[in-house]
Amino acid sequence: MNFDIGFIFQVMGQIIRYVPITIYMAVVSLIIGGMLGLVVALVRYYKVPGLSQLFSIVITILKGVPLILVFLVIFLITSQNFNHFAKAVGWHIRYGDLPMSVLAIIGLSLMATVGLSEAFRGAFESVKQVQFDAARSLGMTQLQTIRRVLIPQTMPVALPMIINMFINLIKGTAIASLVSVVEIFSAATQAASSNYKYFEAYIAAALIYWMMTIVIERGAVFLEVRMDKKIKRS
């Protein structure tokens, strides 16, 4: 076996087409996870009776589940039951017609919800009690307080963790490829399957992931600097 540098570039050219779908899956999961995570964090922060305890238990449980098991179970359950279900409900789609990225998005959203709810909860703690007293004395309702006082102040604190989660989601898509979601990793495996140059193909995939992460990290630094400026001005 010889090391074939040319093949790395060849594979990179092939798999770079899958960068958009990877980013798409990560972004959609981040948005869904962000919204659900915010709701969970708010419920736990305001200690809504019943729901708060329920979420706390659910999050503790989900925190312990490896992503791959989530994907495997979702994949198996949907692949065995979707056709029966669709027939029963009267949908005219078969499992094969579904885009596999939906699977990835479900699993990744779950991961993002768990991670971001904890991140937001931590960030909420950074808002001081006087802020709520002030909002109250101005006659703001609870919802207004959340929208105008709590969330704007927590976002800069939570931003590094949100970016971290985004990078983790992109890395998580590689795991999704184990349950037949087509993205960078599986494309690299496929490219190498004809000539068994797996090492070169995975180097290519690794380089692409690495570049994506570096770009995101640079963007995050830029965003943080801008946010800091905004805070200082106000």
Partner 1 sequence: MNSFFQPHLIWQYFPDVLSALPVTLLLTLVSTIIGVIVGAGIAYVRMENTPFLKQIAAVFTSFIRGTPILIQMFLVYYGLPFFLGYVGIDADDVNALVYLFITYGLNMAAFLSEIIRAALESVPATQREAALTSGYTKRQMYFKIIFPQAVIIAMPSFATMVISLLQDTSLAFTIGVIDVVGKAKALGTATFHTVEAYISAMIIFIILSFILERLFRWIEKRSNYSSRQMPIVATNPVIPVIETPKTS
Q: Which residues contact 73 (CB under 8 A, 6 or more apart)?
A: none
Q: Which of residues 51-80 bind partner 1 (CB under 8 A)?
A: 60-61, 63-69, 72-73, 76-77, 80
DSSP letter string, 78-106? HHHHHHHHHHHHT----GGGS-THHHHHH
Q: Give the nearest distance from C-beta 36 to partner 1 in angstroms.
A: 15
Q: What single DSSP character describes residue 194?
A: T
Q: Binding marks (x or -) toward partner 1, 127..166, rule CB under 8 A?
A: --------------------------x--xx-xxx--xx-
Q: Does 95 bind partner 1 (CB under 8 A)?
A: no
Task: Check residue 222 for interaction with partner 1 (CB under 8 A).
Answer: no
- 3-state SS assignment for residue 136: helix
Is the CB of 17 or the CB of 218 nearer to partner 1? 218
Q: How far apart are CA 20 and CA 158, in angstroms?
A: 26
Assess 231 for contact with partner 1 (CB under 8 A): yes
Query: DSSP characters for 142-174?
Result: HHHHIIIIIHHHHHHHHHHHHHHHHHHHHHHHH
DSSP string, 43-54: HHHTT-TTHHHH
Which residues here bind partner 1, judged by CB under 8 A?
A: 1, 3, 60-61, 63-69, 72-73, 76-77, 80-81, 114-115, 118-119, 122-123, 126, 153, 156-157, 159-161, 164-165, 167-168, 171-175, 178, 185, 198-199, 202-203, 205-206, 209-210, 212-214, 224, 228, 231-232
